[in-house]
Structure 1
Amino acid sequence: RDIAALFKLFDADENTRSAILIDLYFNTLAYATKSGFNTEKSSTWLAIVKAVHEKATGELQTIGNSFEFFKLLMLQSSVHRPPYSLGIFTYAEMKDLTEYMLSTYFRHYKLYQYAFTKLVRMDVKLASPVLETAPTPFELLGVAFPDSEWAEKQAEIKAKIEEERRKAEEEAAAKEEAEREARIKAEYDAAIPEEVSTRVSEALAQSMKEMKEQLEARFKEQEEALLAKIAELEA
C-alpha cells in the first residue's frame, strides 16, 4: 500500500499494469533491504529500475539497448566523479545488482514489453487495383513511320477527336433546346386559365363537328350525282 500511495497506483485491483509495477518496485526494495542498503542506496536503486523500465516500455527498446542504458546508470552511480557521477555503490554491489537485474527483469523482458505495449489495431480493407489505359492507342516500337505518314496519322486522330467533341456539343445543345421548349410549353400551359382552355377545346370540337358534317353532305351529293349518271347510262 505504501508503494501504491508513493507512485499513485491506486487502481492495482483493476489495472494489471499498476499491479505489475507495484510488484516490480516491491521486489526492488526488498532486494535493497536484503542487501543492507541505506536510504540513499535504496532510493538510487529504485530510481534506476524505474528509469530503465519506463525507457524500455516507453520507447520500445530492444533488450540490448535497454541493458546498455542500465549499465550506464549503474556506472554513473558507482564511479565518484562529481558532477558527472557519484560513487554510491561499490564495485561488488554494482556486480550483484547487475546479476539481479539479469536474472529478474531482463529475464522476463519480453513479458514486460508485452504487458506495457499499447494495443495497436489495424483494419485491412481489400481494394480492386486501378488500371489506367492510354487515351489513344500506341503503335508498337518495332513499327516505324515516315514523318509525313506520322503527321497524317496524328491529323486523323486530331480530326476524330474534334468530330467527337463537335457531336457531343451538338447533342448537348439539342438536349438543352428540347428542355427549353418543354419548359416554355409548361410555362405557357400554366399561364392559360383553365376556363380559356376549356372554351378553346369546346370551340375546336364544334369546328371539327361542323367540318365533318359538311364533308359528309358533300360526299352524299357526289354519290347521288354519280348514281344518277350510272342510271342514265344503263337506260
Structure 2
Amino acid sequence: MHTVKYRLNDPRLAPRRTKLEIPGWAGSRDPRKDGSHEQVWHCVPFSEGAQYGIELFYPYDNELRVSTRDGTLRLEGDWGEPPAPGLQWPPFRNFGDSYYTYQLLLDLKLEKGLAIRTEPHPRFYTDRSDTVPIAVPALVRNWWPMLFFCVFKSPAEGCTHIFRPAEPFAQIIVIPEEANFELSPMNEEEAAERELQARRIYANRPNLAAGTEWTSTTDTVFDGTYRHLHRAAKDKARQD
C-alpha cells in the first residue's frame, strides 16, 4: 500500500480517489439484462481503469468556457477581483492557442520511485457533448515540490470546453517514475501456454457465462465471463 500526501493552495481543490458516478458521467443504472442499454460501467476493464487514479475538482464558483473562434483561443468567465493579493487571476492562461494552462498549485508527495501523470478525466471518454476539458499527459517526478499548472488541449474550432463548479476536470495516476521494461516476443513455450489458456477459456465459456448472458438495445450479446474470472483471480491473490 502506497501513500500519496497532498498540500493545497485552495482547500476546495482537495483531490480524491476517482469514483464512478452512476447515474452521471459513467451512465445510468441499467442492469445487465436483455433490453438494457450498454453502459461503460458494465465493462470491468473500463471501470477499473477509470477508478485507478485521483480526480481533481474545479474549485471556483464561476464557470469557465474555453472555445476556439477563427483560430483564436478564448477564455470566458466572470472572475471578478483576485481572492488574494499577488495571485495569478484568472488562473488560466493561453499557451500558444493550441493549448492553455490552469494554475493548480497542488503539491502531491510520493514515495521514492513513484511519479504522477496527468491525463483526461475518464468522463472525457463518455461525454457526447465535446465539452469536457482535455488534460495533456505529463509526468512529474516526486522531487518536484508543487504541480504549478496543468496543460489542456484547446477545443476544436466551434467547440467549447466547460469548467463547472465542483465538477472533475482531470485525473492523476501514480506510476513508477522510470518505465523499466522492454518489449520482447514470447518464446514458443510461452506463446503455447497463452494460447492454451485462451482456448480453455473459449471452450469453457458456456459454463463461465452461465446465467449472465444478456442482449443490449443494440443487439450486442454480453456475458459475465471476464467478471467471473476477474473475481476468482482477485480471491486467489488475496489467499496467496
TM-score with structure 1 setting the length: 0.20
Structure in which a larger fraction of residues adopt strand: 2
Larger CA Rg, structure 1 vs 2: 1
TM-score with structure 2 setting the length: 0.19
Structure in which a larger fraction of residues adopt helix: 1
